[in-house]
Structures are given as C-alpha cells and as structure tokens.
Chain A
Amino acid sequence: MDRRKFLKLAAISATLAGGVPGFFNREVKAKAYTPPPGALTARRWGMAIDIKKCWEHPECNDCIKACHYIHNVPHIPDRKREVKWIWKDEFEHVFPDKPNEFNNILLAHKPFLLLCNHCEHPPCVRVCPTQATFKREDGIVMMDYHRCIGCRFCMAACPFGARSFNWVDPRPYIEHFNPEFPTRMKGVVEKCLFCYERLEKGQIPACVEACKHKALIFGDLEDENSEISRLLRSRFSIRRKAELGTGPSVFYLIG
C-alpha cells in the first residue's frame, strides 16, 4: 500500500471511529509520516543544473526521456494541450526578464532545462482549494491526483508554467507504458514531483540518474556539506523569476 492510499484509509477509518475529532486530526497524521528505512531524506531538496554541460551536448535529451517514460507522461502533439514535466526552452523564454539587448551573445537562444521549481513559498499551494497540491516538509511540492478537482487555479498561480492539465484522457498518448507508476485521468493537473517515489526507495531522481554528463545535481540545500550546497557556494547561479519571491529550489549554474 502506498503512502497516499494508506493516509486515505487512515483518514477514513479515523473519521469513522473518532467522528468529528478524527476529521480535524487528519492533517496532523499526514505530517507524522516517517519515510521508510533506506529512503533518501533532506531538509530541503533542490536541484542545480550545470547548463554549460548541457550545451556541450545539445542533442542529448536523456533526462527528459527518462522522466517522461518512468512517469507515464503522455506525448500529446498539440502544443496547446501538451503535458510535460521536464523540457527545454530557450533563454529568452525561460528568463524573460534577463535578456540584455547589447550583450546577449552568450545566452541568446540557448536551451535551458525547465521543470517545477519546488518553490519555497509555492503560490500553487497557496491557491489550491482542496490541498491537492501541498508542500512536504522536505520542500517537495506534491500533487494528489485523486483529490484534484481540476479547477486549474494552480496553473494561473504558477509563474513558471510548470503545470500541465489533462485536457483529454492522456492514456492513449502514452508511448511506452511503465506499470510501476500510476497513469492520470482527464481533468487533473500534473507536474514534476522530484521523484518522491524513487527517493522513498533510496534512488535519486530519474533525470539526474539518466544524465551521463552529470549536468544535474540533486541534493539537500540545507546541508552545507552536500554537493549541491558546495557547488552553489563556489559557482555563479541564477534562478527563474527570483524577484517574485516564490523561492525556487532549482538553480542554473552559468558561471
């Protein structure tokens, strides 16, 4: 039984057994969750993307392929309806506030890797009316597909375009089906979840594992000895739209 299912069952039985007190306790239970032995844990998960390494291999899309395969992300050709968890876009679109018309030779039209930033103060969580989007204590911004009502408020609130909505049934668009991860239904929102399901099993995120050039670094931002913390201290990095105050946990190493 996975964690969510367990929590649901627990909540239902608690509500049945305890009546009203059980109803109010439910949230407390969700927080009291302890990861299974062997799980990777952190106080705040984050990712650094060594963008220069990425540029050395412009044809490489291993991270995207691995993520989208493992999570049954459908391949919908219609750009207006597509679902994506991790993808590439050019500098001007990723950092719309940063272009410099006099000196953009370095970065103009350069591809950047995009995914949910697992913000420290995520507006998507703030607006969600059902707590289908919630932030875990380790910083991962989660999605509960079973609770999402599909109001798409979170999409309006996310300033990074990180969320996709299933406008139609996604299942026919899954190219290679992975039975180990649930598929989604029409009418719910989805996005990158920092591979919470792999962390539980002691594995690093699929994109990080798939990158043979070691361009993706995943780790605990609050642990000063972690590789990511050391990198962020020693190299120049930027974050998307940091001025909005959402506190993205994804960093782009450019210097």
Chain B
Amino acid sequence: MNANPYLPDMATIVEVIQETHNIKTFRIVINNEERMKEFTFRPGQVGQLSVFGVGESTFVINSSPTRKDYLQFSVMRVGEVTTRLHQLQPGDQIGVRAPLGNSFPVEDLKGKNIVFVGGGIGMAPLRTLFTYMLDNRKDYGDITLLYGARSPADLTYKAELPEWTERKDVNTVLTIDNPSEGWEHKVGLIPNVLLEINPSPKNTVAITCGPPIMIKFTLQALKKLGFEDENILTTLEKRMKCGVGICGRCNIGTKYVCMDGPVFTYAQLKELPSEL
C-alpha cells in the first residue's frame, strides 16, 4: 500500500476472461515494475479496483501469491463500477488499492484436511486458497473441493475445472441445482451434496463462501457433520469504501470487515452482534 491509503496504483488489464453471462475475470499488472515485483499478499485479502470517473469497488484477489505474473479479480456485473469494468479491454488502465484486510490462516492450516465449499461467485476467494494449496500441496492433508452453481453456464473458472476434476491429489465435486443436458457431475443443492460427500471433521477445516442463503444451510450441514465452530472459515461481503477501517461503513459491532476480516471463523461470527 502507498503511504496515502487512498492513492491507487495504476495498473493495466492484461487479460479479460468471460466466465458467465455476468461475471468476468480480469488479470492486471501494476504499471510500476518495482511495485509489481514487490507486491505481496496473503490468500483471502481483497483490493479496491478503480475505474476513474466512475468509482471504486472491493473484490477479492483471487489469484494465488504463488503465481506472481498478474493479480486476478472476478467481477459480477451488478452496479455502476462493475458495469464499467465489464466494458474494459486488455490494455485499458485501472487503479488498484491492495492488499486490504486479513487472510486465510495458511500456516495454521498446514497438516490439516481441507474441505472447500463454494457457491457461484463465492468460489472467487476459495480459488485463491485452493490454488495456493495446490502449489504447496505437500503441506496439506486431503483436499476436497465442492463447487456448485445454478447451472453449468453459471460456473466460473471453466478453463481450470478439467484440471481440478482430473487431479488425483484433490477430490473435486461439481454440482448444479437442476439437471442439465450433458452434465456429468452432481445435481443438487450444495448443502445436500455436502452431506452426501460426508467429509470427516477429524483434523479437517471447512472453508465456505457463497450467497448468504447457501452459507446458512452449509453451516447447518457442517454442524450436522460434526465440524467444530473453530474449524469453519468463511469470508464476509460488506459494502466498503476506504478499505482501511476509517470510513465506518463495514463494521459489525467493534469489528471492521475491511480490517478484521473478511475472513472469520464461525466461532468468531457467533461472538459478533447479529448484523450480517
């Protein structure tokens, strides 16, 4: 980060991937070569992307710090900034303020089995950690990835799904809500498929992200499977502006999602005032 926390670095979009009808993935490189070389972050941290003249929005950095050629952000088109971002092409200039927030505890997770449960665009933060773990595979135990979307067309990271499903050292399970022609994977809502997979909670940490309703029922399923609150991690979405704990927008009681989060354990969430 710059000394002035509101000052973005200029960056160039180097690649745009159309993931779904309303999600695009942007790969960017910070223009200042030295800054790009020095740029470090931890899985789970977020950044603010700027389209000058339109504004800033917060997105998770969904590339892995183990792959340093570019920073990757997946953007769902929902408002003014995201709509304008979707119109940009490789070579276009944007601003980036990153990294912001806390991260997944990658050191504490070493030696543990990991169950990822991602829904829709909620796969973005999980992708960071999943990729990080694939690049440090020997540090972690069994890895299961359960990733679901409404339909095959709503799945992001399609280019990587074949690798994820074919790798022998991870158990990747894909699911969609309703049957679809040509679909060879699971059909069913994520919490139900999770119960079907029935992962053991022993020495296992579950990491989930997705729409609030999915998280709600996924947490119930994880509890049913015997997961302890301390061993369930999630990332929160909140409206943010400054990203550095000043503007007063993303607090839940005394915690600021932009500084104390976005990653929280279920045990921590239970301690917070119920304002999610």
A and B interact physically: no
Taking Cβ atoms with an 8 Å cutoff, the residues of B that contact A are none
Taking Cβ atoms with an 8 Å cutoff, the residues of A that contact B are none
